[in-house]
Amino acid sequence: MENITYKSIGVIHTPHREPSGIPIQAKAAETIEGTVEVFAEYVEGLKDLSGFSHIVLIYHFHRSRKAALHQKPFLDDEERGVFAIRSPSRPNPVGLSVVRLLGVENNILTVKGLDILDGTPLIDIKPYVPEFDVFEVDRIGWLERHIEKLREMRDDGRFAVDDK
């Protein structure tokens, strides 16, 4: 199979300068505001986006360590398979966050709910549509015993590289 290459379409600006201390999911970062800068050649693609209250940001974990197939997630003390956790250290370090869209002005999106490191390369933006994106679930695996820790849990830097 051939390599897949993506080009960044922008950069995400947040108050989080270091991985340590970042909420580990957007749901636990609901009050944190920032901006998404979309590069000039993609601005026309923002047409009609302001009609949505929430958007999905897809981005590259540019400061994550090389992936191990077994890792200890933030919400547990037991190692789990990388595809059963949401660690930024992945075979393809791609992240996604659903954030509230507060405004669109030219190439700048103002958003709220950022669990993302400042300077993170943006790969794509999609509108969040509950009828497409919300499913009724009957199990959440190992997280069932730990989900109540989400709001107070913060990144401790275990998945980040130190080179800036």
Q: What is the CATH number of the domain that holds 68?
A: 2.40.30.70
Q: What is the value of pTM for the model shown?
A: 0.82
Is the pLDDT at 143 greater than 90? The verdict is no
Give domain status of residue 3, yes or no.
no
Q: What is the pLDDT of residues 47-105, one digit of tens each?
A: 999 999 999 999 999 988 888 899 887 767 889 889 988 888 889 999 999 999 999 99
CA dihedral 47, 52, 53, 57 (to 10 degrees): -70
Domain that holds residue 72: 10-152
Give domain status of residue 66, yes or no.
yes
pLDDT of residue 164: 46
Give domain status of residue 117, yes or no.
yes
Q: How many CB atoms lie within 10 A of CB 18?
A: 14
Give domain status of residue 42, yes or no.
yes
Give domain status of residue 159, yes or no.
no
Give domain status of residue 158, yes or no.
no
Number of domains forming the structure of the chain: 1
